[in-house]
Structure 1
Amino acid sequence: MKIIVPMAGRGSRLRPHTLTIPKPLIPIAGKPIVHRLVEDIAGVLNQPIDEVAFIIHESFGKKVEENLIAIAEKLGAKGTIYYQNEALGTGHAIMCAKDSLQGPAVIAYADTLIRADFDLDTSADSVIWVKQVDKPEAFGVINLNEANEIIELVEKPAEFVSDLAVIGIYYFKDVSVLKDELQLVIDNNIIHGGEYQINDGIKQMMAKGMKFVPGQVDEWMDCGNKEVTVDTNTRMLGFLHNDGAVLMASNVKLENSTIIPPCYIADDVILINATVGPNVSIGKGCHIIDSTVKNSLIQTHSHIKNANLNNAMIGNHAIFDGNFTSISIGDYSVLE
């Protein structure tokens, strides 16, 4: 089994945090989004992973590539890097990894996290993972027949089709079939929204009678902008806390401070006259002094003083001393 992860976009809606780091490497509960995504998918598949192919922008740099290869190797898989240097759509992104597109594979876009527990239907030609949503008109949804097979993909339907939204994770029994169809999409310049889309390849597979079925997840968490990323951090901390995960390093220094779980607190964090939690992630080497922090995500080596933070997101090596509450500041920012 292979996992294919298109992740070349910088994530403009999550700026300023993505000005210095690609969105899939933003930490959620102490671990990068893409790391959690790949591990969660591997857990659901419950079978050996042979290769994890990452499609990135070449500007991400060698350090990012090394981190991604390490994620694959931790799963006992080969890590492969491909480049998508032009934003030409989901179908184009997948085709940038065409040398890896053969055999069974899962394609997963690296801006979402899941919690799921189900048996994958490997008899189907494809499984499209979905989640029941309250406002289906805001999503791409599936249309099912009486046999619970997917017969149509509908983008943001004006009239009700179903409430099962496509979350951007797909299984293909033989992903080379999708590759062939996407090659036809590109060769025939089939474009929607100025881009080559995975849905056009999938629709051609459906037209040829291939069997598509839904795979439903229990939880679907987005990381599109600051608000939903902080919320996703909160939800993930809750899941990990309930799972009994160890979320606090052994060398955290506490002085007249209180931690209200669930929280993730990394190595070398110093808390002085602080109340932290619930639902807070604090990265390595941060100092929190004379402050209250809840429902927030703070990355590494940042210093927070005289703050009352709620629903905040702070980058790496930032300095914040002030009274603002729901803030979003990027790496190396100083507000005093």
Structure 2
Amino acid sequence: MKAMILAAGKGERMRPLTLHTPKPLLPVAGQPLIEYHLRALAAAGITEVVINHAWLGQQVEDHLGDGSRFGLRIAYSPEGEPLETGGGIFQALPLLGSAPFVLVNGDIWTDYDFTALPSALDGLAHLVLVDNPGHHCAGDFRLDHGQVCDGDQQGDTLTFSGISVLDPALFEGCQAGAFKLAPLLRQAMAVGKVSGEHYAGRWVDVGTQERLAEVEQLLAERC
């Protein structure tokens, strides 16, 4: 499988750190955040990665290059204007091909083992869900016997980790431009086309400087 890392956000909540450095390149324990994903994907046997970018995106390309030093081949999908999650993936589909691909949010940190992801889908998507963090107590979706359901229904919710496997067919009928991924996932959930798993390991949504420090602490404890 190929993989895509979403790296087009401006990281406004991380300012002033992101005024001159794109969030994917912010150092965590001496290593840019995005490199943790690249090394984990390579360790899982994935060799082709697509990265979208917008804010200060040329720095991402200049730093990572063609990916060869990670054992990867990296292709880039630059966005002249923000396309949001769905639009960014849709623009990159020609680089990803027709088979299911791994999708990873560039602004998370986790010790999730990507080899655990399914290589084939019985549906349109497979989501990795995690326990609700303190800053997102309401959660996103429910997990019911391996199927993901909309969290608006009765039941305990979990948070979407930002790790998934998507079938390009999920985007059938979409048009170029800015749009979100979540509505497409909810449409697929409504017809039973989204599977999922609950990951109880380490995971942090690195959206603020405080959570960046949290990752630093987790990595320090692991050493």
Give the counterpart of 1:179 among 142, 146, 171: 171
Separation (CA, whole Å) in 2 of partners of 1:66 and 1:131: 33
Separation (CA, whole Å) in 2 of partners of 1:41 and 1:99: 20
Instruction: Name the amino acid aligned to 1:15.
Output: R
2:26 equivalent in structure 1: 26
Which of the pair has more CA radius of gyration? Answer: 1
1:100 equivalent in structure 2: 95
Higher fraction of helix? 2
Deviations, residues 274-323 of structure 1 (Å, cap 9, x unaligned): xxxxxxxxxxxxxxxxxxxxxxxxxxxxxxxxxxxxxxxxxxxxxxxxxx
Deviations, residues 75-127 of structure 1 (Å, cap 9, x unaligned): 43221111123234211111121212321311111110111247333353432
1:148 equivalent in structure 2: 146
Instruction: Name the amino acid aligned to 1:50.
Output: T
Separation (CA, whole Å) in 2 of partners of 1:178 and 1:39: 27
Does residue 1:5 correspond to 2:5, yes or no? yes
Distance 1:203 1:160, change over 3 A: closer
RMSD, aligned CA: 2.6
Distance apart, 1:140 and its partner CA? 4.0
Separation (CA, whole Å) in 1 of partners of 2:135 and 2:150: 12
Distance apart, 1:27 and its partner CA? 0.7
Deviations, residues 41-60 of structure 1 (Å, cap 9, x unaligned): 444xx3x3231111001743
Does residue 1:52 correspond to 2:49, yes or no? yes
> Normalised by the size of structure 2, how large is the TM-score?
0.84
Distance 1:12 1:40, change over 3 A: same
Distance apart, 1:67 and its partner CA? 1.9
2:187 equivalent in structure 1: 204
Separation (CA, whole Å) in 2 of partners of 1:68 and 1:41: 14
Runs (5+) with no aligned partner, structure 2:
none
Is contact 1:109-1:168 (8 Å) kept?
yes
Distance 1:163 1:204, change over 3 A: closer
Instruction: Name the amino acid aligned to 1:83.
Output: P
Q: Percent identity?
A: 24
1:225 equivalent in structure 2: 208
Distance apart, 1:137 and its partner CA? 5.7
Higher fraction of strand? 1
